[in-house]
Structure 1
């Protein structure tokens, strides 16, 4: 059984998230996207757990849950992201909602329900020990993010945890090509997830994994992650990530890392310069690009369909113009992932030639991208990207 899975999202109980991050909306929008399995997120928050239990139905004892909405096929798996006492974030995939209830009392935290992503006042090694006691699948979230990724503080995974983890999550500003220049990471499977704070398809599933499961269950997912059954990673071009390059968090000026360090990480505008993911990876790299461990799956760049429509037609992502065209494509081709990856560009061109040209450009790695930095997402230079395409 081959599935598309986004294993890291949040609920409406996390800070800076959409009020529409509820089970019903998440399920409907994930089906439009083409996701077979979606994370619950925030599974240590009591009110969210109560909503999940009320609105989802367990599939036997599989650790998988289905929505009660007729005609919606989305499946859920129990997950949470937590912050440790060094502000590093960790992703826990939990065997069931029942186990999530049991785990709540194990952690040192002032108020578990203060935020969907709880601030646990424990070291990473203590958190992973508890997670392992409950048979969770666990690893660091968005490992290179300069604010909360593991590599902002540590130079290795084992230095942080004191043991091996089940996976590492790459985050939006890196990909397999960059991450595999760090030799230690050859020992770990990579997950690519959206970390979405919104249910809409230009956020949820913007990164996802294609995984081969023996059955749809928590145990099968755990086995698949540990035995090279991740068939492909899908994610945005890392240059589109908010922190790919080094830049000012106030004016977004792009900096060479050496110039930034010579300026004590202070921009001429007075803002703070944040070291980019690419610069941090360069510091940790010991291998040349192109050297991958055996069985490392292919990494395919994708960009959300609504964002592509917005770019080529110069309209806002949420405008009626873009949403009408989006819905037309979903009705014609079933789901967004198929449009982005599988449908021949010639068929897409019948409906929207401009869209077909930019899809062809990123499928063939010909996108011209102005890189993200300092908290600002990268942008696609559409006119350059479609040069000699369709």
Structure 2
């Protein structure tokens, strides 16, 4: 058994022919660029790319398989250099049971299964080429289809104020929308962590995942997990999410929730952190409820419901002041990958490559010791400059 770094929520900005997939995604965020960056720069063992339903992306995957750049694994998933691709899709659900739109993730073990799901999905969405399309069926029907193809179903960033289960879609319980037995894990999102949500009793049965929701190559692995399993394959991932046969998530790594852009309640018009209406800064009358407030509303117990893996607050390199692209490239050239820099390289070794002040900031960032300015209202928090 080994440990594998895994980020399961990465968008595709453009196809190999330059057509948009995730409109807000970077133009450089192509499938092959994602796989190259994950393998060579980030040091991710597994990536879930969640726009693989798009016909041109499926076409690109087929081409990479033909060229043997992607190797389909016996245990599910496709191997690119040092990284396994788990093909997936993000879908928006807003059926008669929802109070508002909800984003969900689904993953499949092979290119063929992804293609079969895409063929089914095209009958229920308006534009198959784009990311996160609204599906014209209820959530339970979608869950059944995913599992009929032996897939994995995960509600996405569940506390985000917009387009998430607890943030927008349900009043109190996921059971208002979903079949609870067909949820394979829960994605927490950037504005929450394990400790914050430990008092929500209906989540006790589920594994928590922490993913980047990357819209650019640089944002990959801003949140991820270390998973203990036999090999970096779909089947092993599925076992780990169910905590079967010794497979499990060992550690969640993510931003301190204070850095999340929806952590605190804020004015929707100017972003000022306040719970008062009208806003004392601009007079606006609309607030974006913070994740911290919503979690308190949902908390129904103070008991320790289950043992969870540690959640390490870790600041990615590109969040840290004074660390620009040239510094990151210098570090990567010396030490190999971002995972190695964050987990293995000593502070003393860092000081051999970058100034002592920057080495100290990196060390504080990976140990959760930086001072932070809280995010809210759609604006990310920041690391305080000293």
Which TM-score tier does this pair reach, normalised by the shorter chain? Answer: 0.7 to 0.9
List runs of 5+ in structure 1 lacking aligned partners: 314-321, 384-390
Find out whether 1:291 has 2:304 as its counterpart: yes
Of residues 58-67 and 79-88 in structure 1, the stretch that sits farther from structure 2 once superposed is 58-67
* Distance change in 2, residues 1:92/1:110 (3 Å): closer
Distance in 2 (alpha carbons) for counterparts of 1:20 and 1:269 = 40
TM-score normalized by the length of structure 1: 0.86
Contact 1:251–1:269 under 8 Å retained in 2 = no
| Superposed CA RMSD | 2.1
TM-score (norm 2): 0.87
Q: Which residue of 1 aligns with 2:175?
A: 158
Which range moves more in the overlay, 359-368 or 187-196?
359-368
Matches within 5 A, 1:1-390: 1-12=2-13, 13-31=21-39, 32-56=41-65, 57-67=70-80, 72-85=81-94, 86-107=100-121, 108-152=123-167, 153-154=169-170, 155-164=172-181, 165-200=183-218, 203-227=219-243, 229-256=248-275, 259-260=276-277, 263=278, 268-270=282-284, 272-288=286-302, 291=304, 293-294=306-307, 296-308=308-320, 311-312=321-322, 322-350=324-352, 351-383=354-386
Q: Is the CA contact (8 Å cut-off) linking 1:235 and 1:301 kept in structure 2?
A: yes
Q: CA deviation at 1:225?
A: 1.0
- Is 121-130 or 340-349 further displaced after alignment? 340-349
Q: Is the 8 A contact 1:235 1:302 kept in 2?
A: yes
Q: May I ask how many residue pairs the two structures share in their alignment? A: 360
Q: Deviations over 1:86-109 (max 9, x none)?
A: 410001111212111111243452
Kept in 2, the 8 Å contact 1:23–1:55? The answer is no
Q: Which one has a larger percent helix, Structure 1 or Structure 2?
A: 1
SS of 1:221's partner is helix
Report the counterpart of residue 316 of structure 1 in structure 2: none
- 1:162-183 deviation digits (Å, cap 9, x = unpaired): 3231100000000111121212
Shift of 1:269: 3.7
Q: Which region of structure 1 is more displaced relative to structure 2, 11-20 or 142-151? A: 11-20
Q: Secondary structure at the match of 1:234?
A: strand
Question: Following TM superposition, by how much is the alpha carbon of 1:266 offset from its aligned partner in structure 2, in angstroms?
Answer: 10
Inter-partner Cα distance in structure 1 for 2:86 and 2:368:
32
Structure 2 partner of 1:386: none
Q: Distance in 1 between matches of 2:298 and 2:281?
A: 25
**Structure 1 range deviating more: 112-121 or 189-198:** 112-121
Post-superposition shift, 1:221? 1.0
Q: For structure 2, list consecutive stretches of 5 or more residues without a partner in the other structure.
A: 14-20, 95-99
